Chain A
Amino acid sequence: GAGVSQSPSNKVTEKGKDVELRCDPISGHTALYWYRQSLGQGLEFLIYFQGNSAPDKSGLPSDRFSAERTGGSVSTLTIQRTQQEDSAVYLCASSLVSLVGDTQYFGPGTRLTVL
């Protein structure tokens, strides 16, 4: 079946612009995760959704970052007023349920470059 998909694959934007990154999880997966991969910080967890709700948003690096998930499926990560330090690869993952130990399946990521 289809894996996790993300769009766009690459995004170049100017400092101060808003961007939206999209994630389509594997069909039927109820848990969805966003991670950020950057040269300076490595791989870091951003936010998790169980269904449409995000119980813990403390991983988001600033209030310029927000995320939503609708219909228990597609998720959008929005970055407002982008800064150069937001440049990174944003990875999305999904798992069947949110039981500990469930394997997370990753998408190919969106490479964001802020000029």
Chain B
Amino acid sequence: AQTVTQSQPEMSVQEAETVTLSCTYDTSENNYYLFWYKQPPSRQMILVIRQEAYKQQNATENRFSVNFQKAAKSFSLKISDSQLGDTAMYFCAFMKHENAGNMLTFGGGTRLMVKP
């Protein structure tokens, strides 16, 4: 079974600064996908960024980018120019195809507070 670990339960950052959230995972698979989801107080899980394991290039989406280290099984999220609206829980998630479709295995989450 896959496990996903987020070692930072809480983090804070000043508005406009950069913050990096950590995620490590454990798998024996070679082909899989990794995701970062954001969950604001509204509870709606919103996709932030997606990475395909067979692609060496790190994914980027505007102010969000990842540092994907496949050998180290590490998938960190960098948020640049942090904004107040980035305040939320952030979940790292792993996906591979199984009998249960493409279930997501989530880490425990990191609560990010952006301070004005």
The answer to whether A100 touches B44, judged by C-beta atoms less than 8 angstroms apart, is no
Task: Pick the residue among A59, A99, A106 that contacts B45 (CB under 8 A).
Answer: A106
The answer to whether B106 touches A56, judged by C-beta atoms less than 8 angstroms apart, is no
Q: Which residue of A lies closest to B43 (CB)?
A: A109
Q: What's the Cα separation between A9 and B92 when bound, in Å? A: 25
**A72 within 8 A of partner (CB):** no
Main secondary structure of the interface of A (DSSP, over half): strand
**A104 within 8 A of partner (CB):** yes
Within 8 A of B (CB), among A45-63: 45, 47-48, 50, 55-56, 58-59
Q: What's the Cα separation between A105 and B100 when bound, in Å? A: 17
The answer to whether A56 touches B99, judged by C-beta atoms less than 8 angstroms apart, is yes
B contact residues around A104 at 8 Å (CB): 47, 102, 104
> Could you give, for residues 88-102 of chain A, a 1 whenever the CB lies within 8 Å of some chain B CB and a 0 otherwise?
010101010011111
The answer to whether B103 touches A103, judged by C-beta atoms less than 8 angstroms apart, is no
The answer to whether B45 touches A42, judged by C-beta atoms less than 8 angstroms apart, is no
**A43 within 8 A of partner (CB):** yes
Return A115 CB to nearest CB of chain B, in Å.
21
Q: What's the Cα separation between A105 and B106 when bound, in Å? A: 15
Interface residues on A, range: 20 to 34
The answer to whether B44 touches A103, judged by C-beta atoms less than 8 angstroms apart, is no
Interface residues on B, range: 20 to 34
A contact residues around B103 at 8 Å (CB): 33, 45, 48, 59
Task: Pick the residue among A91, A98, A108, A109 that contacts B101 (CB under 8 A).
Answer: A98
> Could you give, for residues 72-106 of chain B, a 1 whenever the CB lies within 8 Å of some chain A CB and a 0 otherwise?
00000000000000000001000111111111111
**A31 within 8 A of partner (CB):** yes
Return A91 CB to nearest CB of chain B, in Å.
7
Task: Pick the residue among B47, B96, B100, B105 that contacts A55 (CB under 8 A).
Answer: B100
The answer to whether B43 touches A45, judged by C-beta atoms less than 8 angstroms apart, is no
The answer to whether B95 touches A106, judged by C-beta atoms less than 8 angstroms apart, is no
Given contacts A100-B33, A106-B45, A107-B44, contact A43 B91 (CB under 8 A): yes
- A/B interface sample: 18 pairs, CB < 8 A: A33-B101, A33-B103, A42-B109, A43-B106, A45-B103, A48-B101, A48-B103, A55-B99, A55-B100, A56-B98, A56-B100, A89-B43, A91-B45, A93-B104, A99-B97, A100-B95, A101-B52, A104-B104
